Structure 1
Amino acid sequence: MKIATRFWVSLVLSLPMLIEMILMPFTNFMLPGGHWTMFVLTTLVMLISARPFVTSAWASFQKHHSNMDTLVAIGTATAYIYSIYAMLTGKAVFFESAAFVITFVLLGQVLEEKMRDNASDAIEKLVNLQAKEAEVQRDGQFVKIPLAEIVAGDLIRVKPGQKVAVDGTIVEGTSTIDESMVTGESMPVSKAKGDNVIGSTINSNGTFIFKAEKVGDDTMLAQIVELVKKAQNSHAPIQNLTDKVSDIFVPVVLIIAIATFLVWYVILGANVADALIFAVSVMVIACPCALGLATPTALMVGTGRGAKMGILIKNGEVLEAVNDVKTVVFDKTGTITVGKPEVTDVIGDTKQIIAVAAGLEESSEHPLATAILTYAKAQAITAKPVQDFQAIEGKGVQAQVEGQKAFVGNDKLLADVQISADLKAQMQTLQNEAKTVVFVGLNNQVIGLIAIQDAPKATSKAAMAALHARGLKTVMLTGDNQRVAESIAKQVGIDEVIADVLPADKADHIKHLQHSGSVAFVGDGINDAPALTTANVGIAMGSGTDIAIDSGGIVLIKNDLRDVDTALALSKKTFNRIKLNLFWAFIYNVLGIPVAAGLFYGLGLTLSPEIAGLAMAFSSLSVVTSSVLLGKTKISAHPATV
């Protein structure tokens, strides 16, 4: 039976007893049937509404554990069983206490469930963003078909105002697209042939045709929804502490309740009914039901808000790890820089150098290879055919070109290679200009240089400034040479540069940095995956490879480096809210137990079981409200406002 149904059953059955309790002092009103009517009403409450509490408590007891339901079950059962005894022996009963406690506890759970649903509406809103149908080419004609029937490779036409159905690449036309619902980017993005489009975004003004590449569960929106679901159901390490506290807290409360009864009945001479009232009140007020809500509700709100901002936080462990981060390490290419390097200089016989380099780089997926191939195409230079191609990790590539051994790579390839003094001098000049120098050679002799430059992203400098304002150290970890790396670092404000690093060694450098404190690593490439996994917090750029995104604990969909600081701020804010929730979960109990136990009875301050149940309900309400308000707090890149 649903919680809401159990609550309404309990409320309806408890109302007659509530009316009697209110009217009795003024009119001596009693329910027809007196105590027997109260017995029947309370029995129905115990059988229908309270049964799950008893079942849960018994299941925990069989496993030699105790939980929050243990206190509710024992407290209400004690009040109910004693009232039956009292009714049969002509003494005062308090059936209404058992019924009211169940009603108020369920009231708290109903409010929790309602706010939990509100807190997790981020997933529902994301799912509702999906287009329901699309204009897909079939037999040379564009026809509307349901989203589920689209397959990879379909050509889809999108008119102004329509939603992009799935992820793909534009093959014809231009437009501007509002991607804010997925990436959080408020400004429309211009798109043309060759550009990627994201499913569920809205086409603004032009008509274009794109080729479907990712459909169904493979689309970015579907992956975002899945990540948010996993994050909201994840388990933060701090929850382990609350679980341990619960195991100890419940037995301690039961001991306090028994001691309360004994003190009042044996030492202070109170009658059984009054002593039992104090004991039951202790059990009810002490029940920290809100404790189980402190972590999950904050996680729901925090991760849901992050998704709307284009920041995917994968689990609760990341939130907790962020609080200890002292150093943020960045990959260079595609992370700090645009990731689209361009050839700026060719030293030597341009046609020969580019023809050889393009031939070797045709089999490579490195960004520098793409820059060389793009330059060759623009200069109408035909790549020379190659044989026996071989990639040398972290150094370059080599192959046979027209019977000669050819190579293209960085200075790590130059151990057994001859290079003229003139080329060495020009190499240093180019590197001082923040350009990456690629060596092209034949038969163990360098025949020329290709200078390639990848400019920093416009947001990189501001991102570093925000992290510095937060008191964090920034480090660049790159395979590029020292001069180029330091030049880029100087432009954006990086504290430390670690250059000439082979891909396989990145994780080792992260481990070394961890000796000085927790490390966050930001990257986007396949070679960044080990570092992302090794770091205490891995942050993957959304434009990166699937393996990098899978390895990161946080994914920045907008590829805006300033979101690193925002992600850290949101994570800290969420984790701090979890700690605040834990405070609210316990404060009612800590303050209420002495009152419930009757320590202030002489001052006229007491706490009946039903009022204790209401206070417990408000404890849960406070926790969930605190979590919901997390969605309204200001998250800024400036640490002073976080």
Structure 2
Amino acid sequence: EPEPVRAEPVSGAEGTEPADALRPLRQRLVTAVVLAVPVIAMAMVPALQFEYWQWLSLTLAAPVVTYAAWPFHKAAFTNARHGAATMDTLISVGTSAAFLWSLWALFLGTAGTPGMTHPFELTISRGDGSGNIYLEAAAGVTAFILAGRYFEARSKRKAGAALKALLELGAKDVTVVRDGREEQIPVGDLKAGDRFLVRPGEKIATDGTVVEGTSAVDASMLTGESVPVEVGVGDGVTGATVNAGGRLLVEATRVGADTQLARMAKLVEDAQNGKAAAQRLADRISGVFVPVVIALALATLGFWIGNGS
């Protein structure tokens, strides 16, 4: 399988982690864009094609196809070892074929001749191909695909920061009542059935039921509801909401991963790392589409070689 773009761990928000996991991808993207733009411009605009422009194009395109496109080549090799083919395989094979053909045309064909021009045409012209280079295709495809991967990774990273912020809504410590005595403990040590105090202005430590007192609870951080909700004995309360009124004694009913806040965080995390139905369908199609495309390309090559063209 190709290396998927995964959501960042929720232990750090965007831009605050010591090692920026997006930095390698961003460096490859910047390299690809900076070098690919002049290659594409020279190939598309005949006025920019000076005497040795093709050799400058080769110099600029080489790092794009090797360094910037390395994740695609690595994924394609890994897939090949497992007998699989994905879109990474198609990208790697396509860019490599365009680059290697250009090398052949430059060193063994006529494309390296000083003053060679590469006119921009919308129609197909017949020829032996020895004077044609496709460096702009190899560099351009790499840059565009990297841009898509980068923006996808960045959006998931931002979602990871939002998930971290969601988890930080919860209280860190709680005052439990045991044998008539108040004791402050970490929220992680709280068990279902424990009774804990919630003073005015404090966050409710976990989901529970009010057993003593009345108050108004501000749940805006979780639900967006701006008006505090009145609660009394027997009413349920949700962890991470704020006690905006009187003193409450609450009996914990759900703790840890069972709380509403934890379930919300789990849904966000699953949405980040999971695949949508359309994406799973695309993966299944690419598993058939890519080998078919490669087979057709090889058959076309064999046909033209067999014809002596």
Pairwise same-fold verdict (TM > 0.5): yes
Residues 73 and 120 of structure 1, relative CA distance in 2, 3 Å threshold: same
**Match for residue 260 of structure 2?**
220
Matched residues in 1 for 2:274 and 2:168: separation? 23
Matched residues in 2 for 1:219 and 1:166: separation? 7
Kindly report which structure 2 residues correspond to 1:255-294, keeping only aligned pairs within 5 A, or say none.
Answer: 255-258=295-298
Q: 1:202 aligns with which of 242, 265, 285?
A: 242
Kindly report which structure 2 residues correspond to 1:523-538, keeping only aligned pairs within 5 A, or say none.
Answer: none
Deviations 1:442-492 (A, max 9, x none): xxxxxxxxxxxxxxxxxxxxxxxxxxxxxxxxxxxxxxxxxxxxxxxxxxx
Q: Is the 8 A contact 2:208 2:251 kept in 1?
A: yes
Identity among equivalent positions (%) equals 38
Q: 2:293 aligns with which of 234, 253, 265?
A: 253
Aligned-residue offset at 1:84? 1.3
SS in structure 2 of the partner of residue 39 of structure 1: helix
Matched residues in 2 for 1:37 and 1:25: separation? 15
Matched residues in 2 for 1:172 and 1:228: separation? 34
Matched residues in 2 for 1:127 and 1:44: separation? 42
Residues 260 and 108 of structure 1, relative CA distance in 2, 3 Å threshold: farther
Aligned-residue offset at 1:74? 1.1
Aligned-residue offset at 1:170? 2.4
The amino acid across from 2:71 in the alignment is P
**Match for residue 17 of structure 1?**
39
Aligned-residue offset at 1:248? 2.0
Q: 1:163 aligns with which of 177, 200, 203?
A: 203
Q: 1:83 aligns with which of 102, 113, 133?
A: 102
Please list every run of 5 or more consecutive structure 1 residues that lacks an aligned counterpart in the other structure.
270-642
Matched residues in 2 for 1:220 and 1:254: separation? 49
SS in structure 2 of the partner of residue 100 of structure 1: helix
Aligned-residue offset at 1:107? 0.9
SS in structure 2 of the partner of residue 163 of structure 1: coil
Aligned-residue offset at 1:250? 1.4
1:51 partnered with 2:91: no
Matched residues in 2 for 1:219 and 1:241: separation? 34
Aligned-residue offset at 1:174? 0.4
Normalised by the size of structure 2, how large is the TM-score?
Answer: 0.67
1:41 partnered with 2:41: no
Aligned-residue offset at 1:199? 0.6
Residues 156 and 109 of structure 1, relative CA distance in 2, 3 Å threshold: same
> Which has the larger displacement, 138-147 or 102-111?
138-147
SS in structure 1 of the partner of residue 251 of structure 2: strand
* Structure with the larger RCO, 1 or 2 (CA within 8 Å, 6+ apart): 2
Kindly report which structure 2 residues correspond to 1:562-641, keeping only aligned pairs within 5 A, or say none.
Answer: none
SS in structure 2 of the partner of residue 111 of structure 1: helix
Residues 241 and 13 of structure 1, relative CA distance in 2, 3 Å threshold: closer
**Match for residue 5 of structure 2?**
none
**Match for residue 65 of structure 1?**
84
Matched residues in 1 for 2:94 and 2:270: separation? 36
Residues 28 and 108 of structure 1, relative CA distance in 2, 3 Å threshold: same
Aligned-residue offset at 1:126? 3.1
Deviations 1:358-385 (A, max 9, x none): xxxxxxxxxxxxxxxxxxxxxxxxxxxx
Kindly report which structure 2 residues correspond to 1:500-519, keeping only aligned pairs within 5 A, or say none.
Answer: none
Q: 1:3 aligns with which of 6, 11, 25?
A: 25
The amino acid across from 1:26 in the alignment is A
Residues 60 and 27 of structure 1, relative CA distance in 2, 3 Å threshold: closer
Residues 153 and 41 of structure 1, relative CA distance in 2, 3 Å threshold: same
| Paired residue total | 265
Matched residues in 1 for 2:265 and 2:298: separation? 49
Matched residues in 2 for 1:127 and 1:63: separation? 39
Residues 199 and 39 of structure 1, relative CA distance in 2, 3 Å threshold: same
1:172 partnered with 2:212: yes
Q: Is the 8 A contact 2:175 2:182 kept in 1?
A: yes
Max radius of gyration: which structure?
A: 1
Aligned-residue offset at 1:66? 1.6
Aligned-residue offset at 1:53? 1.3
> Which has the larger displacement, 196-205 or 153-162?
153-162
Coordinate RMSD, CA, aligned: 3.9
Matched residues in 1 for 2:226 and 2:24: separation? 41
Matched residues in 2 for 1:198 and 1:58: separation? 50
Q: Is the 8 A contact 2:43 2:49 kept in 1?
A: no
The amino acid across from 1:194 in the alignment is G
Normalised by the size of structure 1, how large is the TM-score?
Answer: 0.36
SS in structure 1 of the partner of residue 286 of structure 2: helix
**Match for residue 193 of structure 1?**
233
The amino acid across from 2:101 in the alignment is Y
1:229 partnered with 2:248: no
Residues 141 and 26 of structure 1, relative CA distance in 2, 3 Å threshold: farther
Matched residues in 1 for 2:201 and 2:157: separation? 31
Matched residues in 2 for 1:135 and 1:29: separation? 78
Aligned-residue offset at 1:175? 0.9
Matched residues in 2 for 1:104 and 1:201: separation? 45
